[in-house]
Amino acid sequence: MLLIISTALFFSSCDMLINVIKKPEEENFKGLTKTQEEKLVRYAYTAYNKGYNYTFEQIKGFADNPSYIADDNVLAFYKYLNGEVTLDSIKTRSEDRAEDNYDSRVADYIKEIYSKLSGSLSNQNSDGIFNKFDDEVPVKANAYRTAHKNDFNPPLIPFSNRTFLVTRVKDLLDYYKTSSTFFKTHFAKVFTESVDTFDTQKYSEMLVDLSYAYIGSNLSFTSSIDNSFFRSSVIIKDIPVEMVLAFFVQESRLLPGSFRAEISSKNIYAVSFGLAHTLIDADFLEIAAAYDDIGNNDAGGRNFDIISSRYLGNTAKQKTYFSDYDLVTVRGSLLYSSIFMQLLYQKLITYKDSF
């Protein structure tokens, strides 16, 4: 049912007003049984993690293999965010983090990006650490960003489950903040601020409100190229906010500056960046030119480049408007991941009777 919201509410985490717009229809996972819903979450994450170009049978095979637990983690996080299980029940979920995927040069590079995002490139001017990752995207293309403001940075919208979901996210962050977890240990590697003073209430509000804005505004993107996965039309309308956040928990433990260096034969060929660990070719990083073992002078072919060039206006293999800087912002992570998750939904939902 469409509701017209006639009052504006304050969004304290970004000192912004929630805009007066129509609330979208609640269609997330409409018509699925509980079993189908849970399998869709598991299969979608498996494809997100293993590769979108696998067949449904292969994806199902990965997910149903007892030795593969990442999909089970995501389902547990999804159920926690829905209120079906307790925080204690997910504390023991494996973090699946390898030191081999950490590189201090990439961490320092992210610190440098955040210095610019809170300085000369800032377009939101929030307080403290939040000014480092709250920018509207694309951060480096002011005119393009203005021309497509609501396409890439949808206005915030109220929703009934907000207070409950904010509390769930905050409780999880408070646990990560005070425990010997990836969030706490890597926080110091990409931020100059102390994790002890990090305002988890404000950050939880930011994450929840922006997540709902991206998945609840019926954002639409088109491409002149159509294939079996990257379709010519994508409307973000079928994925619930809890699923987006569950993916973020698994990928980054909700740390906006999170990254994973993808390494082969001692060469960093790509980096998974931000909340969603969106895969970007290492040649797109500004530091690639300074190191022989970062990149191979052939940018492109990863999720960042494909989504940027097909749906967001970039020229293939170029940072025309969007860049790696956008991936370490909350909005950038949401933009890329929501498009990709909707594409995964469109692929998998056709097999729902085989779930």
pLDDT per position as a tens digit, 176-226:
999 978 899 999 999 999 999 999 999 999 999 999 999 999 999 999 999
Residue 117 counted as domain residue = yes
Determine the pLDDT at residue 22. Answer: 34
Structure tokens at 142: 């002011």
pLDDT class of 92 with cuts at 50, 70, 90: confident
Residue type for position 296: N
Structure tokens at 88: 């204690």
Alpha helices in 65-218 (DSSP H): 70-82, 104-117, 142-147, 149-152, 162-178, 182-190, 200-215
Q: How far apart are CA 276 and CA 253, in angstroms?
A: 10
Tell whether the model's pLDDT for residue 278 goes beyond 70: yes
Residue 183 counted as domain residue = yes
Residue 299 counted as domain residue = yes
Alpha-carbon Rg of the chain, whole angstroms? 19
Alpha helices in 253-284 (DSSP H): none
Residue 271 counted as domain residue = yes
Beta strands in 227-354 (DSSP E): 233-235, 259-264, 267-273, 278-281
Are 239 and 215 in contact by the 8 Å Cβ rule? The answer is yes
Residue 203 counted as domain residue = yes
Task: Give the total number of structural domains in the chain.
Answer: 1
Tell whether the model's pLDDT for residue 30 goes beyond 90: no
Q: State phi, psi for 222 to the nearest 5 degrees.
A: -130, 160
**Domain enclosing residue 100, as ranges:** 9-354
Determine the pLDDT at residue 94. Answer: 75
pLDDT class of 97 with cuts at 50, 70, 90: low
